[in-house]
Amino acid sequence: MSTTKRSFDTAFKLKVVKAAEDHSKHYAAKLFNVNRRRVQEWCAQKEKLQSLTQSGRPSDAKRRRLQGGGRKCINEDIDNAVLHWLQERREAGVRVTGKALKQYALQQHHKNGSQSFKASCGWFYKFKKRHNISFQRSTHVAQKSRAITDDRVDSFLRFVTTQRKRENYDLKDIGNMDETPVWIEMPGKSTLELKGKKEVRMMSTGHEKERITVVLSALADGTKLAPFVLLPGIRPLPKEDIPSGIQVYMCGSRVKSWANEGTTIEWLKWIWGRHVTTRRLLVWDTFRGHMTPAVKDNLRTTHNTDIAYIPGGCTSVLQPADVSWNKPFKNHFAELYDEWMITGPFSYTKAGNRKPPPKATILAWIKQAWGQVTPEIVRKSFKKCGISCSLDGSEDHLFNEDDDGDF
């Protein structure tokens, strides 16, 4: 008899059971070329197997494993506790990410003395399958990426290469900056949830549309510059509310905290222009606040800086911030927000509504989230965009290299 592992559907098992009843288990095992122990198991499961064929669902007749069959989880009590934790948070409308669930499961197993438990991707997949859980979105916004022509990309890279050969910039003298919107509340659009739920609710304080702008910038050698945060209002924040390593700019009364020519010049003054005298190259997109005569003149005369404009529609390939920094920055910011929604502290209006997180808290989150972007990620991002690859061509293969695991 073959020792190769095989699996059998419900219909086949019932045929074997009938043969065993009509003749004998030994006869059925020999007739269908299966182990006699399997015949004994299927005979004992006859009622369950018959109920599957009578359910009216064609898929049940093809099932190869009964409910509850297969390898058991390491600790059913902890497994159920993790499921209960997920259900509690989803009932409250709190977003639950895969990372958060795995961290909670790891904590519970370690508390129970299961130090060998790793909360691996395989465990996570089987947990979702066991409990009929999937990622679901609260909303869906379809986006179409613009076509990027090779000619525009090649033209930009030729320009950067020519400038580098002409001026011989050090990597510490090549930079990129990007203004990225950060919403006061970032509850996320997807969460783990039991399948079949018609309503997928996310808890918030009702301030999802309020946003600020964070200017992230870094150098090709891996140096990260201080985040430049644009806030609405005139009155400066108390010094104790601003973490070290964060630069805040108040945009004025009744003015949205959006980037423009004025905020760009302020960023050049407070971030780009501090204590640097060597000739440099600044790579950025074609946002209109970057292209005004005043900004160009300021870069040339005050900051001794050459400009490389990324062609429109090409930032997803040529801008280090878009390629590598913004996503981990915003992901970690969202995780900090999710944690705050569970643990607080909270303050409330006179009407009893929960207030959004304080500005001091948001600034602390920005600092922590930017800290998650490592110098190695920054260095790789410039090479992945073809900006800092070796001029002898030995690193050309790094351009647009698919290395998402590091980012």
As a whole number of angstroms, the distance between CA 194 and CA 398 comes to: 41
Indicate the range of 49-53, 94-98, 397-401 predicted with least confidence: 49-53
Mean pLDDT of the chain: 83
Q: How far apart are CA 274 and CA 227, in angstroms?
A: 14
- CATH architecture of the domain with range 150-406: 2-Layer Sandwich (3.30)
State pLDDT tens for residues 236-269: 899 999 999 999 998 876 666 688 999 999 999 9
Tell me which DSSP letter residue 224 carries. Answer: B
pLDDT, tens digit, 9 for 90 and up, residues 360-385: 999 999 999 999 999 999 999 999 99
Q: Which of 26-30, 159-163, 165-169, 305-309 has the lowest mean pLDDT?
A: 26-30
**Residues 6+ away with beta carbon under 8 Å from 322:** 178, 315, 316
The DSSP result for 242-262, as a single string, is S-TT-EEEE-BTT------HH
Q: Can you give the pLDDT at residue 255?
A: 61
pTM (two decimals): 0.60
Amino acid at 351: A
Instruction: List C-alpha distances in Å: 14 to 91, 162, 192.
Output: 42, 75, 38
DSSP string, 309-336: EPPTT-HHHH-HIIIIIHHHHHHHHHHH
Q: Is the pLDDT of residue 100 over 80?
A: yes
For 76-131, give the CATH class. mainly alpha
Delimit the domains of the chain by residue range.
10-61, 76-131, 150-406
